[in-house]
């Protein structure tokens, strides 16, 4: 399920994420502990993509988050892709003196497989793509829940933060900024959150609200059962309310 190139991505990611975790208090002991935490975080995250892709008869390949286009026109491309997976996390952690820790450095490519034909059409459906693209964040959220239940609150918060960052629609944000300044120049990165947003706005709304709610309630040190129930209910209510307004505005009903 994991090829050699993906293994190299995972190893590099573990060392980078560990560095981001302890950069403001860097020592050998702290870095070794961070390496262990980063390894568990990354392996769970990647497993989420792989397992959900298998479940939907698809194939998910991870790669580092890079940007090769900066606009809508075909000629607006970089000769060499910009390694946002490296530049963005280091930039944020340095300028914030370690306060902002950016863990999400992967993008994911999702394709249908021959196995898919056994129970669905070969063409990848939009909702399936959205669910598979959310696999990493979902498994990070599951790991956060388990860690929180066992009393490892800091590790739980790391994983919750990882999940939130992964589902941010960064490509959409770039397009909105370009629209505001009336420009066709915008960074067009292949980011999981962007895939979820464009493939299923309804699912994206629910999952984003639920994930943010869970992270906030973990910071407030609430009971884990209450956190799960409240987050799911809040995500569902916001999704229904939001989609209802959209459908009424467009004249469609759902």
pLDDT tens per residue across span 180-206:
544 444 555 578 998 898 888 899 999
Structure tokens at 199: 């493939």
Name, in order, each residue with C-beta under 8 angstroms of 252's C-beta and a sequence gap of 6 or more.
Answer: none
List Cβ<8 Å contacts ≥24 apart for 23-29: 23/93, 23/94, 23/98, 24/93, 24/97, 24/98, 25/98
pLDDT tens, 121-156? 545 578 889 999 999 999 999 999 999 999 999 999
Structure tokens at 248: 């009424």
Pairwise CA distance, residues 116 & 123, whole Å = 9
How many distinct helices (H) and strands (E) make up the chain?
10, 4
Instruction: Record the pTM.
Output: 0.87
Q: Is the pLDDT of residue 253 over 70?
A: no
Q: What is residue 252's predicted lDDT score, i.e. its pLDDT? A: 42
Phi and psi for 109 in degrees, rounded to 5?
Answer: -110, 125
Phi and psi for 101 in degrees, rounded to 5?
Answer: -110, 110
Kindly report which listed range (1-5, 76-80, 97-101, 197-201) carries the lowest average pLDDT score. 76-80
Q: Is the pLDDT of residue 32 over 60?
A: yes
Q: What is the mean pLDDT of residues 162-191?
A: 67
Q: What is the mean pLDDT of the chain?
A: 85
What is the 8-class DSSP label of residue 99?
S
- Domain edges within the chain: 4-250
The structure tokens 């991505």 sit at: 9
Q: What is the mean pLDDT of residues 51-74?
A: 81
Q: Regarding predicted confidence, which is higher, 117 or 218?
A: 218
Dihedral sign for Cα atoms in the order 176, 177, 182, 187: negative
The structure tokens 């992967």 sit at: 106
| Helix or strand holding residue 108 (H, E) | strand 106-112
């Amino acid at each position: 399920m994991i090829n050699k190139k993906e293994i190299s991505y995972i190893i590099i990611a573990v060392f980078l994420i560990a560095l981001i975790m302890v950069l403001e208090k860097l020592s050998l002991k702290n870095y070794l502990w961070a390496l262990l935490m980063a390894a568990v975080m990354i392996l769970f995250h990647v497993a989420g993509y792989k397992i959900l892709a298998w479940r939907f008869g698809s194939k998910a390949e991870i790669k580092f988050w890079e940007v090769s286009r900066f606009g809508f026109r075909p000629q607006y491309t970089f000769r060499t892709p910009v390694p946002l997976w490296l530049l963005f996390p280091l930039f944020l952690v340095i300028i914030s003196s370690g306060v902002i820790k950016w863990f999400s450095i992967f993008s994911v490519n999702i394709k249908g497989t021959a196995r898919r034909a056994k129970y669905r059409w070969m063409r990848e459906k939009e909702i399936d793509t959205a669910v598979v693209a959310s696999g990493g964040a979902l498994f990070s959220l599951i790991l956060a829940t388990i860690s929180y239940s066992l009393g490892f609150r800091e590790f739980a918060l790391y994983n919750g933060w990882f999940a939130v960052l992964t589902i941010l629609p960064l490509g959409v944000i770039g397009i909105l900024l370009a629209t505001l300044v009336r420009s066709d120049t915008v960074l067009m990165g292949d980011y999981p959150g962007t895939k979820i947003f464009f493939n299923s706005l309804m699912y994206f709304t629910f999952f984003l609200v639920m994930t943010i709610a869970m992270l906030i309630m973990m910071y407030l040190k609430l009971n884990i059962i209450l956190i799960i129930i409240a987050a799911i209910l809040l995500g569902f209510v916001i999704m229904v309310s939001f989609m209802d307004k959209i459908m009424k505005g467009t004249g469609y009903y759902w």
